[in-house]
Amino acid sequence: MLIQNVKIIKVSNKTLLFLTIGFITFLYFFYVFNSCIISSFHKAFRKHVPHNPHNTSSSQNSDTQIIFGSVVRIVSLTDDDNKNESAFKYRLVNTQNLSVRRFPDVLIIGVKKSGTRALLEFIRLHPDVRAAGNEIHFFDRHYSFGLNWYRKKMPPTMLGQLTMEKTPSYFITTGVPARVHKMNPNIKLLLVVRNPVTRAISDYTQAFSKKKDMKKFEELSFVNGSYQLVDTSYGAIKIGVYAKYLERWLKFFPLKQFLFISGERLISDPAAEIYRVQDFLNLKRVITEKHFYFNSTKGFPCLLKSESRSTPHCLGKTKGRIHPVIDEKAIERLNDFYRPFNEKFYQMTFINFGWS
Ligand SMILES: Nc1ncnc2c1ncn2[C@@H]1O[C@H](COP(=O)(O)OS(=O)(=O)O)[C@@H](OP(=O)(O)O)[C@H]1O
């Protein structure tokens, strides 16, 4: 009897062992099966939740986070359905402050010595404008370096900001309009113009400041020392025939892509000219009279503050030089020389700049 009982117990142990193994196996398959079902329900549900791109709250959209004050979307580099949770395969996409170097949307193409620096310094006060500080001379001198070289010279901008560059020699250099058009046929072009006689004297004054043994302005501007024949081969004189150069540009760009800015008004009423520029560039009128003050020592409008300086300051020493006294008769003769070209320029631009 005792032996029989022992046998029964032995059989029961074996059965118990098989039963336990069987139960564990069952539990394992049951768990795996249910996990698959729950996971596919979860995925199906996620696919049908409408995505709101403007919803940046991390509680409602776990893919969006705020990092260093910027809204950042975390994007998996792998297919979402095959995401390997243990692998570190994410990249950060900054959806708000994406700052990259772009080609210019706006060019200040000239005219040399007409107030191009003042225009650039004034308009770049606008938070939606970023400008290259130096003259890049890409389209006239460095075109062979290629567009990528040019883009790298531009300041980084965020989406919605305008990129701007100024090189005054673009206006008078043959071949530049075609090159600019090839880069961007829709580019906006700003041209500051000033009475061509004063502009020529300003040009001469700059050259004289570098080379003190230069001939007098009157000697350079006329052939044979008399005021009969204007020397149109003298660069400072030639540049003032604005109509000739504008004609070249108009072969590539319609008039509506230009804004003509009066160099004289940029001095007498800078806010008014800058309003025109802001309107033309579809910018909010952020730069106002409040940004300027008239510095009577310098004789020019100066800035109360700028991007780089929070204290009042004027343009540098090379802007607003004292011009030499020029013979009145020479000035009169030059005014006569430029008059027909000025008239033509007024007709082309539909603006009377009021030069004598
Ligand atoms: N706010 C202010 N401050 C100083 N100067 C001013 C200003 N607005 C216009 N201007 C006039 O700008 C003239 C220089 O023109 P540009 O900047 O186009 O010169 S350049 O071509 O870049 O060398 C410069 O010419 P000059 O007076 O002959 O020096 C100024 O008359």
Cα–Cα dist 304/176, whole Å: 36
- The angle formed by the CA atoms of residues 167, 168 and 170, to the nearest 5 degrees, is 80
Cα–Cα dist 141/37, whole Å: 68
In this prediction, residues 70-95 reach a mean pLDDT of 44
Answer yes or no: is the C-beta of 266 below 6 A from any ligand 1 atom.
yes
Question: According to the model, what pLDDT value does residue 57 have?
Answer: 33
Cα–Cα dist 122/305, whole Å: 10
Residue 348 — very low, low, confident or very high, per pLDDT cuts 50/70/90?
A: very high
Question: According to the model, what pLDDT value does residue 328 have?
Answer: 97
**Is the Cβ–Cβ distance between 78 and 87 less than 8 Å?**
yes
Question: According to the model, what pLDDT value does residue 12 have?
Answer: 67
113 annotated active-site: yes
Question: According to the model, what pLDDT value does residue 225 have?
Answer: 81
Q: Calculate the CA 191 to chain-centre distance.
A: 17
List, in order, residues 6 or more apart from 309 with CB less than 8 Å away.
303
Rounded distance from Cα 185 to ligand 1 centre (Å): 29
Give the β-pairing of 106-110 and 162-166. Answer: parallel
pLDDT digits (tens, 9 = 90+) for 111-122: 999 999 999 999
Question: According to the model, what pLDDT value does residue 82 have?
Answer: 41
Answer yes or no: is the C-beta of 205 below 6 A from any ligand 1 atom.
yes
Is residue 222 helix, strand or coil?
A: strand
Answer yes or no: is the C-beta of 198 below 6 A from any ligand 1 atom.
no
Omega before 111 within 30 of 0, i.e. cis? yes
Question: According to the model, what pLDDT value does residue 305 have?
Answer: 77
Segment (H or E) for 189: strand 188-193
**Of 21-25, 107-111, 208-212, 342-346, which range is least confident?**
21-25
**Is the Cβ–Cβ distance between 265 and 272 less than 8 Å?**
yes
Q: Class of 100-349 per CATH?
A: alpha beta
The domain limits of the chain are 54-97, 100-349
Cα–Cα dist 300/261, whole Å: 17
What atom in ligand 1 is closest to the CA of residue 110? Answer: 18
> Given a cut of 80, is residue 139 above it in pLDDT?
yes
What per-residue string of b and e applies to 135-164 under the rule 16 or more CB within 10 Å gives b? bbbbbbeeeeeeeeebbebbbebeeebbbb
Cα–Cα dist 52/56, whole Å: 9
Residue 314 — very low, low, confident or very high, per pLDDT cuts 50/70/90?
A: very high
Closest C-alpha to ligand 1, atom 10: 115
The active-site residue, picked from 43, 47, 112, 113, is 113
> Given a cut of 50, is residue 79 above it in pLDDT?
no
**Is the Cβ–Cβ distance between 290 and 304 less than 8 Å?**
yes
Listed in sequence order, the DSSP H helices in 112-175 are: 116-123, 147-152
